[in-house]
Structure 1
Amino acid sequence: MTRTPEAAPRAPLSRDRVLRAAVTLADDIGIEALSMRRLAQELGVVPMALYKHVAHKEELLDGMVETVVGEIHPPAPGTDWRGAVRQRILSARAALLGHPWAARVIRSRTGPAPALLAHIDAVIGMFRAGGFSVDLTHHAMHALGSRVLGFTQEVFDDAPGPDPQRPATLPPAAAAAYPHVAELAMAVAHDGDSVVGHGCDDQFEFEFALDLLLDGFERLHQQGWTSAGRRGGEN
């Protein structure tokens, strides 16, 4: 008598498995379509089984943020402060680019998740290890803003754009009224999915601004800059 092969046992449900499945599902169908019921279907369990690991949808989203932030890699040992900060931030950007919904979910949270706090703490520690004062580090973190997490709110973010296959154009009247905008719009051919505007290279623009900031921080550090001096009217 021929025996039917038994199916491989299913991996037991755990919080980690639930969160990783949720991240993958959001990557596939979008964060708006993600629901506890849809996630349960994906895992082959009843929805109530999920609530043993995440109490509700908001806790699920918090855990998904933690999972994505967990993909941020530390810099190589021995890297100087500038290289360490740069590597860490670009790793954060790579993690968020791998999950297009993540930046929006991070912005929607009422408070930073522990993993986000750990990431921010690590970046602060890199400045301090480089000899930066608490004062300059404080203002450097303000200047970096959301760039620390790998994303930015660009001046033209979400603005409608023209056909990505052609250089950006403005109607003649608008081009005459805003000549400098028109000049920049026609300067380069833009990538279709750029958040800055059709034709801009988002990664290049991100790294360009990051490097300018890091260069500026280094100059201020070498000058012994303090905010007290600036507030006192020094130039």
Structure 2
Amino acid sequence: MTPKYQLLRSARRKTLAIQVRDGQVVVRAPVRASSATIEAFIRSRAGWIREHQQRQLHAIDTLGIRLEQGGAVPWQGEMLRLDWQRGGASEVGQDCSRFLVTLSHRIRRVEVDAVRDQLKRWFMQQSEMRLKTRIHELAGETGLMPSAVAIGSWRGRWGQCSSKGEVGLNWRLLQLTPALQDYVILHELCHLRHMNHGREFHALLRWHCPAHPRLHAEMQRYTPWLKW
């Protein structure tokens, strides 16, 4: 049986390719590839597709964020319990075991949507302090100095580096362990020297982060944490 998939055609593509991300299958094909050719290619990779889907769906199930009373939200690599209540002013409290979100009595929106927005604002505020402090520390240690640092909100990447030397860090990094946060920051700082993922880039990253291969593999587990 052919797995369900999304088909994307491109005039510049010359070969067929399959991507499995968050359990969803995307097939990239040349414009002139026939439907029969595409179907045969997918059937030939059906076992590979199922293996990756099962692994990714398991990760989403076990690592997925649950925005509900008694749910779970990651912080510094740990899953903390999520609770919320009504009160005079909206705020977020956090300790070693849980997040407690207080929603103002004036809020009339669906509570879970209001809780999500409160948490995102809180993470953003924390990132302005924690991530910016850490990137300046690592820049000083490595000598890789960005021209500017900004906190962003992306659902497809943890960070970015522009050709102007500007580094952007996703507030969602604070969900990861400090070691993985440093890995992403160092990755982006190394792009200040090499704006690609070539041999010289990887050599520089390994120099500043010897655990690079292991941490890179570990990062793949946490893609679900980008999605809220």
- TM superposition score normalised by structure 1: 0.23
Structure with the bigger percentage of helix: 1
Structure with the bigger percentage of strand: 2
Pick the structure with greater CA Rg: 1
